[in-house]
Amino acid sequence: MPIPGEPVWMELTTSDASKAHTFYGELFGWSFHDQGEEFGHYQIISQGDSEIGGAMVKQAEWGEMPDTFALYLSTTDIDATTTAVREAGGRVLVEPMAVGTQGSMAFYQDAAGAAVGAWQGGTRVGMAKLGMFQSGWYELMTNAYPAAIEFYPKAFGATVVPMGEQTDQWAYSTIGQGRDAVAGICDASEWLKDPMPSYWRIYVNVPDVDQTIETLVPLGGRVVDGPMDSPFGRLATVADDQGAMFQIITPAQQPQ
């Protein structure tokens, strides 16, 4: 079972579903499966036989918003979590709602303004992850680090653990500890200047970052930053052909 505050679902919001199908199908071998009118034509993303997330098309009434990936964190009581979000200084954007028998969702802004969802699993507990061409890490880039590391324990019951010595130049914590860590919280105030909001980002495991970029660019994607080497593997920040940003990483320790 997921631990409190563990990422359990990623969700692509896209301007054009057909373009997204082509881009991610060619890049990662992802396939998209329409859930029908009952679920607003929400689409489940699969990689091989594994469900790895969902996708939906932006609606005109949502106004101006970029294509983006969103993240949902685990909860066993979504109503209590929603109350805790408000008490912890967050904002409720979408009240808890049932998704058939699959589970219940809600959507918030955390105390630093980052969008994040909650998922209480029913028949669908969460996504497959950690495999190749699946998400393997999740990271909150926040311009209000002290508020963020207080918010997630209060709102989700997450265990937030400082990673190394915290200084003015370096501050990073994990949800979970050591090998059991499931996500990171990064002080990104040096890079996220007003009006840039805090945000969650996802990392997708790939066998070779540089070769993946060689595929991505002809598909209309672009490299935002990198590639670069890190203690955790070679990585880059990229965007799809409609502007949704994500990270790709060749992990130092390859997924099994």
Which domains does the chain show, CATH number per domain? 7-121 (3.10.180.10), 135-251 (3.10.180.10)
Tell me which amino acid residue 256 is: Q
**pLDDT confidence of residue 252:** 86
Q: Per residue of the chain (256 residues), what is the pLDDT tens digit?
A: 788 899 999 999 999 999 999 999 999 999 999 887 878 789 999 999 999 999 999 876 656 778 899 999 999 999 999 999 999 999 999 999 999 899 999 999 999 999 999 999 999 999 989 899 999 999 999 999 999 999 999 999 999 999 877 777 779 999 998 888 999 999 998 887 766 789 999 999 999 999 999 999 999 999 999 899 998 899 999 999 999 999 999 998 765 5
Measured distance CA(118)–CA(6) in Å, rounded: 10
In our burial notation (b when 16+ CB lie closer than 10 A, e otherwise), range 72-109 reads bbbbeebeebbebbeebbbeeeeebeebeeebbbbbbb
β-strand 183-187 against 135-142: which pairing, if any? parallel
**pLDDT confidence of residue 187:** 94
DSSP collapsed to 3 states, 139-156: EEEECCHHHHHHHHHHHH
**pLDDT confidence of residue 226:** 87
Q: Report which of 131, 24, 117, 16 is spatially closest to residue 72, judged by C-alpha positions.
A: 117
The two tokens of residue 69 are 């990936």
Measured distance CA(113)–CA(199) in Å, rounded: 8
Name the pTM for this structure: 0.93
The two tokens of residue 40 are 């607003």
**pLDDT confidence of residue 72:** 97
